[in-house]
Amino acid sequence: MDRTKIDLWVGIFVALGAAALLGLAMKVGNLTSSKIGDTYSVSASFENIGGLKPNAPVKSAGVVVGRVAEINFDAKTYEAVVTIKIDKRYQFPKDTFANIYTAGLLGEQYIGLEAGGEEDVLKTGDKISQTQDAIVLEKMISQFLYNKASESGKDKASAPAAGESAKAKSTELGDAPF
Amino acid sequence: MVNIIITMVSRFLRGIGSRMIARVWRLGAGTRLFMLAIIYSGESFRRFHLTLREVYFTGVMSLLIIIVSAFFVGMVLALQGYNTLQKYGSSEAIGVLVALALVRELGPVVTALLFAGRAGTAITAEIGLMKTTEQLSAMEMMAVNPIARVVAPRFWAGVISMPILAALFSMVGVLGGYLVAVPLIGVDDGAFWSQMQANVDVRADIINGVIKSVVFGVACTMIALFEGFDAPPTAEGVSHATTRTVVISSLTVLCLDFVLTSFMLVV
């Protein structure tokens, strides 16, 4: 095989490799979707951020409007201070709510912004004062179990009066477990 | 009786010791060859057609085996992944599973293993035979440095080819997974790609995969070159060296993979 033909094949090989890398970056990876233009950063403090991580999405009405830039711990107030970067195109009022939600039952956590009604908008360095912590599943389960245990303790205490308790139970059934 | 036992034990220990020393000696010689290949690699870039020719033999000729095996690996990943994921009602996550498995691990590792078998053995046999037929000594007689003329172009060809092959492997594997997941099983097309894009990070996953494949390229090519260079100049010697290339390359790639992954996950 003469040299020019080898050159051609090597050229095809390298071009294929470049195309594959580009395809991986564009089609498989998130090179295109993670592009956020100019941003402004706002902070918010939470008592508990659960499993929130840097670079987690910030969504409003389900649309990604920014990313979590950094998470710090404030040793004075014992709160987590989360700095988020929001796309410059989107302006939010000063009394915007910041909640930590979970995507799906066990999915990743993200910050949801709910716009308030004030006319002044958030600017770089501002602080979102109205926040809601992450729901920690273990806490909920332990609370539920605790309630259940106290309930069954009540049942045992009233067990001797069997006839009455059966009647009472049927009315109790409609109540929520906690 | 006691004397016999003492002789046996000491012979056993001496055998282990001499083997260890031989290994360490070979490691040192291999590192020296690696350094020489880098020092004399200027030649292989000035006369780039030498390197290009080796890229053709190591890279282009490996295309077929890489693409076909990537296709089947991707398809089997999608089948197996679907089987488990549908039990948890999240069969849309199949795209993430296939893409992450391929980009992070299987792409670089399986490519390196196939590369060691397909191209590494060829390099070892070629250089071993060059040594046996005294072509390398003849080069030295003509004042041609065999490391600059033979080793360095092959080294750079391997280092260039491996990331390209690994990227192709990952891409073709994802396409194979797509083919099984979407038209065959009936996973939603949009969910397949969008979940994949949401969970595969360019820097943490794709670039790290490329880094891995470059490291594997250096290791596999260097082992093949050294085994060829170090082979005893007999038919048997070359055959043993070829076997050793595959064994050592595979083990090295798997160990390096663990080390690199642990570094990458921490950072």
User: ipTM of this model?
Assistant: 0.76
Amino acid identity at A62: G
- Residue in A7, A20, A32 closest to B167 by CB: A20
Q: How many CB pairs under 8 A join A and B?
A: 80
Residue A81 makes CB contacts below 8 A (sequence gap 6+) with A43, A44, A45, A71, A72, A73, A74
Could you tell me if B46 and B149 are in contact, meaning their C-beta atoms sit under 8 angstroms apart?
no
E strand or H helix that includes residue A41: strand A39-46
Q: Which residue of A has its CA nearest to B59?
A: A13
Q: Determine the Cα–Cα distance for residues A47 and B232; give it in Å rounded to an integer.
A: 70
CA distances from B49 to A78, B54, B148, B156, B185 (A): 65, 9, 13, 12, 47
Tokens of B5: 């036992």
List the domain boundaries for chain A: 1-35, 39-137
Q: Determine the Cα–Cα distance for residues B18 and B1; give it in Å rounded to an integer.
A: 26
Amino acid identity at A106: L
Q: Determine the Cα–Cα distance for residues B212 and B197; give it in Å rounded to an integer.
A: 21
CA distances from A118 to A37, A40, A97, B50 (A): 25, 19, 12, 70
Q: How far is A100 from chain B (nearest CA, A)?
A: 19
**pLDDT at A168 exceeding the cut of 70:** no
Question: pTM surpassing 0.80?
Answer: no
Tens digit of each residue's pLDDT (9 = 90 or more) over B164-217: 999 999 999 999 999 999 899 888 887 888 888 878 888 888 999 999 999 999
What's the whole-number average pLDDT of chain B? Answer: 91
Q: Determine the Cα–Cα distance for residues B61 and B82; give it in Å rounded to an integer.
A: 33
Could you tell me if B208 and B106 are in contact, meaning their C-beta atoms sit under 8 angstroms apart?
no
Tens digit of each residue's pLDDT (9 = 90 or more) over B126-149: 999 999 999 989 998 998 888 888
Q: In chain B, which residues have their Cβ closer than 8 Å to the Cβ of A20?
A: 164, 167-168, 170-172
Q: Determine the Cα–Cα distance for residues B108 and A121; give it in Å rounded to an integer.
A: 49
